Structure 1
């Protein structure tokens, strides 16, 4: 099977981090990209879940705006820090 060249742009810092991870796995950049491409073809899609950060959802943004409005109107209630165990 013949090889072809592919050119694309990537943030320089991201590239360095990507190469560092690949190096720890014993792979170079070309091999890492080929592994990803083969996984996309095999899975007929991106081989991992793509999801947006729920913090930026319209519902959460509306909630945050309403809470800010309440706080600005002096309707907030102080409370102690609530700590959650990550068990």
Structure 2
């Protein structure tokens, strides 16, 4: 089977800490990423629970999104951040999302 390279942007400190732990477990990042990909294929899902902690503040959520986007070299304007906050507070998130998408497609 042909192999390909996968590049992942991550915090250098996180990579180093995870590598140390994985080495202690007798494995490495490459093997764990391959295990993750196989589990995604087999389960047709993310093989672990993905959720936000109940004590994650709105500011922390916004900062996390902002940091993640900056890692991908995508910047959020103050207007973008305000939209995120409005979405977070919206009672009907789907309706809010549809409204924003409609405004975006009109522009």
Shorter chain as normaliser: what TM range? 0.5 to 0.7
Structure 1 unaligned segments of length 5 or more: list them: 59-87
RMSD: 1.7
**TM-score between the two structures when normalised by the length of structure 2:** 0.49
**TM-score between the two structures when normalised by the length of structure 1:** 0.58
Structure 2 unaligned segments of length 5 or more: list them: 59-107
Answer 1 or 2: which has greater helix percent. 2
Q: For residue 4 of structure 1, what is the aligned residue in structure 2?
A: 4
Say which one has the larger Rg: 1
Q: Which stretches of structure 1, 4 residues or more, deviate above 6 A after TM superposition?
A: none
Whose relative contact order is higher, 1 or 2, with alpha carbons under 8 Å and at least 6 apart? 2
Alignment of 1:42-57 (within 5 A): 42-56=42-56
Between Structure 1 and Structure 2, how many residues are aligned?
58
